[in-house]
């Protein structure tokens, strides 16, 4: 069996279907996209090459930079707020009784399998300024000053979208952390208990360091997922008010499809690809370089 999987043609045969799909639908489209990014193009026909003009226009566009900032705000929420919460959930889940574990596992997966439209509509209702759940609670607590138009206020709209997006995957991430925790040998904890370590010490000294691989996987998944954030923005605010809540991918979509400027849209796409490659490189460089084996 080992000989079979060590055989390069066998590896290639197994990898071929996904490699083919990846090549056709991911790698191949990048080439015409690069070409279009140097053209004045309305999506139907090219009106000639314009050199780096599209790139210069994009880089001078304030909306593009705001879209980048919004995207990185969502990435920040994901990395520094949502992932630690997911880890905390996983640690707590590990300590629960079996029926509670089953309940939490179901609850964790449930939001992730719901349609984005359902999630976004639900959060629109939560944030509704006049009768929404959030403002109703705030008013009931006599915190009227905090009852805002969450999706129409430039200060709150991006974090509000980020919360809706991250809520959807909070449980799923917790579940992945939990499976990582289950893979850690119990003997480590037993030894730690004998040495007098409690829940927090064991978590910090054993669980979190040994979850490096899962953390790296979730970081890449979560950061790239946030980077390509589109659907929640489209449904919840349409990038508005104005262009305040646009993410990079939404800006790309707006420029290409709404203003019919596919040349500039493709330039945004290529810059976005470069941004994602840099981020992936940084994660690979600095997080969990060495594989941990138990």
Partner 1 sequence: MRKFWKTMLIVIVFSLLVSLVACAPASNNTTPANSNVSTGGDEQEQKPAEKVRIKFLSLSSDENRNNIREKYIKVNVSKEFPNVEVEYDLGGGGQDYANKLKAYNASGDMPDVWFSEQNLSTVVISAGNALDLYPYVIETGFDKKFKMKELVQPDKDGKLYCVQPGADQYFTPRLWYHKDIFEQYNLETPKTFDELVSLCETIKSKGLVPISIVGKDGWTPNLHMVQTMIMAEDPQVAIDLANNKTDFSNPVVKNALARIQKLVQIGAFADGVTNIDYGPAIEMYTSGKAAMLAMFSWELGNLETASPDTDFIPWPSASESVDPNNVIQYWGAPLSGYLASANTKYPEIAAKFAMFCAEQDALYYNIEQKAPTMLDTGIKIEGVSPLMQKNLDQFDAAKIKVPSIWAATFNAKMSAEFATENSKLLTGKYSPDDYIKAINPVWAENFN
Kindly list the residues in this chain that would bind partner 1 in the complex (CB under 8 A). Answer: 8-9, 12, 16, 19-20, 23-24, 28, 43-44, 124, 128-130, 149-152, 154, 236-238, 240-244, 253-254, 257-261
Cβ 118 to partner 1, closest distance in Å? 16
Q: CA-to-CA distance for 292 and 294, rounded, in angstroms? A: 7
Cβ 242 to partner 1, closest distance in Å? 3
Cβ 176 to partner 1, closest distance in Å? 33
Cβ closest to partner 1, residue 7 vs residue 107: 7
Cβ closest to partner 1, residue 225 vs residue 240: 240
CA 8 to each of CA 11, 60, 126, 294: distance values in angstroms, whole numbers, following the listed order = 5, 48, 54, 28
- In DSSP terms, 39 is beta-bridged to 49
Question: Within 146-261, where are the H helices?
Answer: 157-182, 186-194, 199-202, 208-210, 212-227, 231-236, 248-253
Cβ closest to partner 1, residue 82 vs residue 255: 255
Q: What is the DSSP string of 65-126?
A: HHHHHHHHHHHHIIIIIIHHHHHHHHHHHHTS-HHHHHHHHHHHHHHHHS-HHHHHHHHHHH
Give the torsion through C-alpha atoms of 51, 53, 55, 61, to 10 deg: 180
In the block, residue with structure tokens 């208990």: 193
Cβ closest to partner 1, residue 148 vs residue 192: 148
Cβ 169 to partner 1, closest distance in Å? 24
Cβ closest to partner 1, residue 91 vs residue 249: 249
Cβ 213 to partner 1, closest distance in Å? 31
């Amino acid at each position: 069996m080992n000989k079979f999987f060590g055989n390069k043609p066998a590896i290639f045969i197994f990898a071929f279907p996904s490699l083919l799909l990846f090549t056709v639908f991911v790698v191949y489209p990048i080439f015409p996209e690069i070409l279009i990014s140097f053209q004045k193009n309305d999506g139907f026909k090219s009106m000639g090459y314009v050199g780096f003009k599209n790139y210069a226009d994009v880089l001078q566009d304030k909306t593009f930079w705001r879209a980048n900032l919004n995207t990185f705000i969502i990435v920040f929420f994901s990395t520094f707020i949502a992932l630690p919460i997911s880890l905390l959930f996983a640690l707590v889940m590990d300590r629960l009784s079996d029926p509670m574990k089953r309940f939490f596992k179901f609850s964790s997966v449930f939001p992730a399998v719901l349609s984005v439209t359902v999630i976004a509509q639900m959060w629109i209702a939560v944030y509704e300024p006049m009768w929404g759940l959030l403002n109703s609670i705030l008013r009931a607590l006599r915190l009227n000053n905090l009852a805002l138009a969450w999706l129409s206020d430039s200060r709150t709209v991006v974090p509000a979208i980020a919360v809706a997006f991250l809520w959807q995957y909070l449980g799923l991430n917790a579940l992945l952390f939990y499976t990582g925790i289950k893979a850690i040998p119990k003997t480590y904890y037993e030894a730690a208990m004998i040495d007098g370590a409690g829940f927090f010490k064991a978590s910090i000294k054993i669980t979190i360091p040994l979850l490096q691989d899962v953390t790296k996987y979730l970081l890449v998944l979560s950061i790239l997922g946030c980077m390509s954030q589109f659907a929640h923005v489209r449904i919840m605010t349409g990038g508005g008010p104005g262009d305040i809540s646009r993410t990079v991918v939404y800006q790309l979509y707006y420029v290409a499809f709404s203003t019919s400027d596919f040349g500039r849209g493709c330039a945004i796409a290529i810059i976005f690809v470069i941004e994602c490659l840099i981020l992936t490189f940084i994660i690979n460089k600095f997080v969990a370089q060495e594989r941990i084996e138990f």
